[in-house]
Each structure stands twice: as structure tokens, then as C-alpha cells.
A and B are shown apart, each in its own frame.
Chain A
Amino acid sequence: MDADLELAKAVLQRDRKASAEFVQLYSDPVYRYVRFRLQPRVEAVDDLVQEVFLTAWKSLGRYEGGAPLKQWILGIARHKVQDHYRQLLKSVPFPEDAEELADSSDGLEIQLGTAQAQARISAILAQLPENYRTVLLWRYWEKKSAEEIGAEIGRTPKAVERLLARARQQFKQAWQGKEEIK
């Protein structure tokens, strides 16, 4: 932890080599995190990673140790990704009808090996419409509740639940190989 504080202090003193070390140490985890959360929009990844580092520089004076610097900068990345999700979901139409969808996953076995499952899940996510993909990533990978998502984008939890239900349904159909996603 002391090493993290020392590095932060050196970056704040505008030590160019410490700044290079800062980029070298944390660009890989930040890039990995952002790339997965923004998939398949790779064109937005570089800009968002850059925003993370510039925000980190502006906020570094508030870093007091306590948590590893890697966790601290990933926290900034999480905020940036959620800003991105917020902007995206604010601009898409939400389903308004109250049509009930089946809420059972009976027969949906997850039997693949981890690597195969990862590849399949990524492929399905990449093919989903952007509003479905975004709400699934926000809910299940960022672990935000429908209430929290709704509060961020000015929608009711019920509206978010409806969007989630449709997103899950389409994901499920793709998982079963029943539907080719358009």
C-alpha cells in the first residue's frame, strides 16, 4: 500500500517516469474492464480509457491509500462506464406494454466449460440490440438493481424490469439457439 501512495505522490509531483509507471501498471486492467463493458463498441473504448486516466490525474490528490491504487482507478472506470450506460439508456425507447413474459429458465442448462461459456455469452451479448445489452450488463455485471438503474435514467423500476424481461427473453432464446438476433 505504501508503494501505491508513493507512486501517487510522485505522479502528483509530475514525475514523468512515475507517470509512465502509472500508465503501465493500470492501463491493462482498466482496458480489460472497459472493453468488456462496452462490447462490441470497440471504437468507444480508447476514449473512455483516456477519460479514466485524466479523471484519475485530476482526483489523485484525494487518494489516501486505504485501498490499492488499482481498485481506486477501477472505481473511476466503473463510474465512467455507468455514465456511458446512463446516456445510452436515456436515449432509447422503453417497452410500455404490460405483456407478461415467461419467467422460467427451466431446461436452460449451463453445461459448457468456462472458456466455451465465456465465448458464447460474449457472442450473444454482442449481437443483442444495444438497449438490451446495456441493461443486462448494468444489472448483472455491474450488479445494479432495477431501482438503482431507474433512478439513474429517470424511469420507474417497473419500466426497467420490463426492459430487463425482454432482454433476458432474447438472451435466453439466443442461448437456446431458437432465434437469430437481428
Chain B
Amino acid sequence: MNQDNWMEQIAELCDEEESLAPSCLKSKLYSRLIETQQLEGPLMSLKETQANGRGLCVFEKLIEILPAEKNMQSFQYCQVCHARVAGERIENAPIYWSNCPYCEFQPR
């Protein structure tokens, strides 16, 4: 067997291991994705998001039931939430709100 074939066998034996992306990385990816989306237009309103069958966190629910203007509904409240700060900085952050992306990124 020549070395080319031998290396092909080696490559077959070894590929990426099962591993999860760090929760801090997921949190930063999400924050950056939303920031980029906001540069191109307003986010979908909380009412529409909920109508699409996706749950809101306790803070978003509060905004959603207020008689708020549409631009209030499109604001990304995570920007000012402690869950985002903790999620971006701490692996397995002690945050437990339901329907919060930063909590859902935690490995548990």
C-alpha cells in the first residue's frame, strides 16, 4: 500500500468527535445574528412571533399584553436582559426562564 492510500484509511478512521458548541458561543452567535437582522429591518413583532407558535419569555409576555406601539413589539428586549449577559459570559449560566433562548442554549 502506498502512503496516499494509507492516509486515506487514516482519515476514514478519524473525524470530528461528538461535542457540543459552548453555550457562551451559542449565546454570542444568537446576539450577533439578531443584531445583524436588526440592521436590515425591524424584528417580527412579539404578537406575530407568538401567533407563529413560538413561546415568549416572561418579560416579552409582559410587553406583548401592554398596549404598546408596534416598534415596542419589535424591540429586542434581550439586549437589556441579564440572561443575555450571563449567557454570553458564563458556561452553564444559572438562568432558568422558560422560552428564553439564552437559557435554552445551556447544556442541561
Which residue numbers of A lie inside 8 Å of B, CB to CB? 10, 13-24, 27-28, 30-33, 35-36, 46, 49-50, 53-54, 57, 103-106, 108, 110, 114, 117-118, 121-122, 136, 139-141, 165, 168-169, 171-172
Inter-subunit contact B9/A20 (CB<8 Å)? no
Alpha-carbon distance between A135 and B105 when the two chains are bound, in angstroms: 35
Contacts of A28 in B (CB 8 A): 19-21
What is the number of residues of chain B that contact chain A, defined by CB distance less than 8 Å? 49
Question: Contact between A54 and B25 (Cβ–Cβ < 8 Å)?
Answer: no
- A23 close to B26 (CB less than 8 A): yes
Q: Mark B1-31, 1 if CB is under 8 A from A, else 0.
A: 1111111111101111111111001101110
Contact A15 B17 (CB under 8 A): no
Which residue, of A23, A35, A106, A122, has the highest number of chain B Cβ atoms within 10 A? A23
* A31:B19 contact, CB within 8 angstroms: yes
Q: Which residues of B contact A122 (CB under 8 A)?
A: 14
Q: Are B28 and A50 in contact (CB under 8 A)?
A: yes
Interface residue? B85 (CB, 8 A) = no
User: What's the A-B contact tally at a CB cutoff of 8 Å?
Assistant: 138
The A contact surface, by secondary structure, is: helix
Contact with A along B26-39 (1 / 0, CB 8 A): 10111011101110
Q: A23-B33, A32-B19, A171-B7 are in contact. Are A104 and B44 (CB under 8 A)?
A: no
Q: Which residue of B lies closest to A39 (CB)?
A: B16
B43 (CB) vs chain A CBs: closest residue: A14
Partner of A15, one of B44, B55, B99: B44
**Interface residue? B41 (CB, 8 A):** yes
Beyond the given pairs A16-B49, A32-B19, A46-B28, 12 more chain A to chain B contacts, judged by CB atoms under 8 angstroms and listed by A's residue number, are: A10-B52, A19-B34, A23-B30, A24-B101, A24-B105, A28-B20, A31-B21, A50-B32, A57-B33, A103-B2, A140-B11, A168-B4
